[in-house]
């Protein structure tokens, strides 16, 4: 009976043991900034509310960064509420970014990433997005720009005085990661 | 169920104490593995002994499979797999992943719950979105009507130049009538504009920030002004019609109207500020 139990335990537990991560990363600090352009307006919306985690396993690291859409602050509450409406932020309240990089590239000064961004109920992919990394002790400071556009997420451009905003809404990323 | 990748399994009715109608088939066609479980709606509760016997069989099967003891029966397994693939082809397609489940997501990657986000944080509300849509729709109309209202407001201000009697000639009333008509139109348009802002649903209890804050503060100037201006104007009109010089509180009509028009214009600029040139 005991042998059988041990056999069962080993058999069913072995896949779980095999899937335990080699390394885990946590997002310590973040600043995400979108930039919106209009002939009469230049607006930056900033969020410090992003959360992120990375799990490295079998030589690959999978990262997930998520931020509430409503956490972006452009300095004007009316504009922010209009942004939430335009981006369907009440229905899809989280913007998510997933990426996978080889574990061997985690410490490189330049990270070449393929991103999958979920936003406004749509998923867009961005290939070869370059992020720059500086390492200070355990802190990995990573910066870069994600070249998002309104059309990538099927968002109708808002207008001001009947003139629509520009299609390009680049998101500047400034994050600090630490291994946990 | 006899041929199962070289592994025999007792017919279902040979295991009455466990599950009379339970059939488990394990087929192999390396490197793919398919496990199919069919069970009836009612399963009797197995006895502990039967459960252990069944578990031991599963363990043996798994162990045999793990050590690749099925090689001599690969041909039979392939035939069985082909048969199952034919059966699977007749099945409907699996649901297409929705946007919140990306194709690149894999079981080893982190999930939103790993980030400490609860379903309340991640699940959206179509009803709330509809509220946002309605708010935006009404405020767009408010914006449009507000800009259109600038025309009668400006016209009323300009026509005010000819409204007072010239050289104590109280008989010519055309210019005053035009001014009255333009002023009444401005007030009516203003009320119509304001109604859309007032009736727009509230979607946030946060305090206003930025230009919209000044836009709201200026309401305290132009809203009373839009009420006072026509009242004072009517008083002034009556005094002029009766051949009197405008006097008393009615003489403030022009000043109140100017402050009202200026604060109205400032409210439009405030909500558009800062303007980048």
Domain spans of chain B, in order of start:
12-39+47-86, 126-272
Looking at residue B164, what is its pLDDT?
81
Looking at residue B107, what is its pLDDT?
63
Alpha-carbon Rg for chain B in angstroms: 41
Q: How far is B85 from chain A (nearest CA, A)?
A: 27
Q: Are A33 and A158 in contact (CB under 8 A)?
A: no
Looking at residue A7, what is its pLDDT?
56
> Where does residue B160 fall: left (phi above 0), alpha (psi -120 to 50 degrees), or beta otherwise?
alpha
Q: Given B55, B99, B277, which is nearest A8 (Cβ)?
A: B55
Tokens 């059966």, residue located: B87
CB spacing of A64 vs B211 below 8 angstroms? no
Instruction: Count residue pairs from A and B with Cβ separation < 8 A.
Output: 136
Could you tell me the pLDDT band of residue A162, with boundaries at 50, 70 and 90? Answer: confident
Averages of pLDDT over runs of 10 residues in chain B (277 residues) are 39 39 39 40 47 48 39 45 51 42 59 91 93 95 96 96 75 86 97 96 90 94 97 94 90 96 96 78
Q: How many residues does chain B have?
A: 277
Angle between helices B174-199 and B219-241 (to 10 degrees): 150
Q: B51 in helix, strand or coil?
A: helix
Could you tell me the pLDDT band of residue A89, with boundaries at 50, 70 and 90? Answer: very high
CB spacing of B104 vs A100 below 8 angstroms? yes
Tokens representing B236 are 């002034």
Does residue A97 lie in a domain region?
yes
Could you tell me the pLDDT band of residue A115, with boundaries at 50, 70 and 90? Answer: very high
Partners of residue A1 in chain B, C-beta under 8 Å: 52
Structural domain count of chain A: 1
Q: How far is A8 from chain B (nearest CA, A)?
A: 7
A103 lies in which domain range?
Answer: 21-179
Question: How far apart (Å, rounded) are the C-alpha atoms in residues A88 and A101?
Answer: 30
Tokens representing B39 are 């069970």
CB spacing of A77 vs B55 below 8 angstroms? no
CB spacing of A78 vs B275 below 8 angstroms? no
What H or E segment, with its residue span, contains residue A65? strand A60-68
Q: A115 in helix, strand or coil?
A: strand
Does residue A15 lie in a domain region?
no
CB count within 10 Å of CB A158 equals: 18
> Would an 8 Å CB–CB cutoff place B271 in contact with chain A?
yes
Looking at residue B2, what is its pLDDT?
40
Looking at residue A97, what is its pLDDT?
95
Higher-confidence residue of A165 and A15: namely A165
- Residue to substitute from A66, A69, A122, A177, interface B, most B β-carbons within 10 A: A66
Q: Long-range contact list for B126-129, CB < 8 A, 24+ apart?
A: B126/A91, B128/A90, B128/A91, B128/B203, B129/A85, B129/A88, B129/A90, B129/A91
Residue B47: cis peptide before it, omega within 30 degrees of 0: no
ipTM: 0.82
Q: Given A11, A76, A116, which is nearest B212 (Cβ)?
A: A76
Looking at residue B68, what is its pLDDT?
40
Partners of residue B213 in chain A, C-beta under 8 Å: 77
Q: Which pTM value belongs to this model?
A: 0.69
Could you tell me the pLDDT band of residue A158, with boundaries at 50, 70 and 90? Answer: very high
Residue of B nearest to A4 (CA): B56
CB spacing of B203 vs A54 below 8 angstroms? no
The number of helix segments (H) and strand segments (E) in chain B equals 8, 2
**Mean pLDDT, to the nearest integer, of A133-152?**
95
Question: How far apart (Å, rounded) are the C-alpha atoms in residues B46 and A180?
Answer: 45
Tell me: pLDDT of A2 over 90: no
Could you tell me the pLDDT band of residue A12, with boundaries at 50, 70 and 90? Answer: low
Q: How far is A24 from chain B (nearest CA, A)?
A: 10
Question: How far apart (Å, rounded) are the C-alpha atoms in residues A123 and A12?
Answer: 36
> Would an 8 Å CB–CB cutoff place B207 in contact with chain A?
yes
Q: Are A101 and A61 in contact (CB under 8 A)?
A: yes
Residue A52 sits in a domain whose CATH number is: 2.40.128.110
For residue B244, the Cα-to-chain-centroid distance in whole angstroms is 60
- Residue to substitute from B49, B99, B110, interface A, most A β-carbons within 10 A: B110
- Residue to substitute from B109, B128, B215, interface A, most A β-carbons within 10 A: B109
**Mean pLDDT, to the nearest integer, of A132-143?**
95
What H or E segment, with its residue span, contains residue B54? helix B48-66
Question: How far apart (Å, rounded) are the C-alpha atoms in residues B60 and A8?
Answer: 10
> Where does residue A29 fall: left (phi above 0), alpha (psi -120 to 50 degrees), or beta otherwise?
beta
Looking at residue A63, what is its pLDDT?
95
**Mean pLDDT, to the nearest integer, of A38-54?**
94
Which of B 42-71 lie inside 8 A of A, CB atoms? Answer: 52, 55-56, 59, 62-63, 66
In degrees rounded to 5, what are phi and psi of residue A21? -70, 150
Which residues have a Cβ under 8 Å from the Cβ of B79 and sit 6 or more positions away?
A: B3
Q: Given A19, A51, A84, which is nearest B108 (Cβ)?
A: A19
Tokens representing B251 are 């003489």
Tell me: pLDDT of A79 over 90: yes
């Amino acid at each position: 009976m005991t042998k059988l139990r041990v056999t069962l335990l080993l058999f069913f537990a072995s896949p779980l043991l095999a899937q335990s991560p080699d390394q885990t990363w946590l997002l310590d600090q973040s600043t995400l900034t979108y930039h919106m352009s209009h002939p009469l307006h230049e607006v930056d919306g900033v969020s410090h509310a992003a959360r992120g985690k990375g799990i490295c396993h079998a030589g690959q690291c999978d990262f997930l960064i998520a931020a509430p859409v409503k956490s972006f602050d452009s300095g004007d509450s009316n504009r922010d509420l209009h942004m939430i409406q335009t981006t369907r932020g009440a229905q899809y309240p989280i913007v998510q970014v997933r990426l996978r990089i080889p574990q061997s590239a985690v410490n490189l000064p330049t990270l070449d990433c393929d991103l999958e961004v979920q936003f406004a109920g749509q998923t867009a992919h961005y290939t070869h997005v370059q992020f720059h990394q500086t390492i200070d002790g355990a802190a990995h400071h990573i910066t870069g720009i994600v070249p998002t556009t309104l059309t990538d997420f099927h968002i109708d451009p808002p207008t001001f005085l009947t003139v629509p905003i520009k299609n390009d809404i680049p998101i500047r990323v400034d994050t600090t990661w630490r291994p946990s | 169920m006899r041929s199962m990748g070289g592994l025999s399994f007792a017919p279902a009715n040979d295991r009455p104490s466990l599950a009379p109608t339970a059939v488990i088939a394990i087929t192999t066609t390396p490197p793919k593995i398919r496990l199919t479980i069919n069970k009836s709606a009612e399963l009797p509760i197995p006895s502990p002994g039967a459960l252990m016997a069944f578990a031991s069989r599963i363990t043996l099967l798994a162990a045999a499979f793990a050590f690749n003891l099925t090689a001599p029966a690969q041909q039979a397994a392939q035939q069985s797999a082909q048969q199952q693939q034919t059966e699977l082809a007749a099945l409907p397609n699996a649901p297409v992943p929705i946007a919140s489940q990306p194709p690149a997501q894999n079981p080893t990657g982190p999930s939103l719950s790993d980030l400490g986000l609860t379903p309340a944080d991640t699940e959206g509300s179509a009803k709330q979105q509809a509220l946002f849509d309605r708010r935006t729709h009404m405020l767009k109309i408010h914006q449009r009507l507000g800009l259109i209202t600038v025309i009668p407001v400006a016209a009323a201000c300009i026509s005010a130049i000819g409204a007072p009697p010239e050289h104590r000639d109280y008989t010519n009333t055309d210019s005053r009538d035009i001014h009255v008509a333009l002023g009444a139109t401005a007030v009516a348009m203003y009320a119509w504009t304001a109604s859309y802002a007032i009736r727009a649903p509230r979607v946030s209890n946060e305090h206003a920030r930025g230009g919209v804050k000044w836009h709201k503060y200026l309401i305290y100037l132009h809203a009373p002004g839009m009420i006072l201006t026509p009242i004072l104007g009517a008083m002034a009109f009556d005094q002029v019609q009766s051949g009197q010089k405008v006097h008393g509180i009615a003489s403030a009509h022009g000043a109140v109207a100017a402050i009202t028009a200026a604060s109205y214009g400032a409210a439009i600029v405030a909500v558009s500020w800062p303007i980048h040139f």
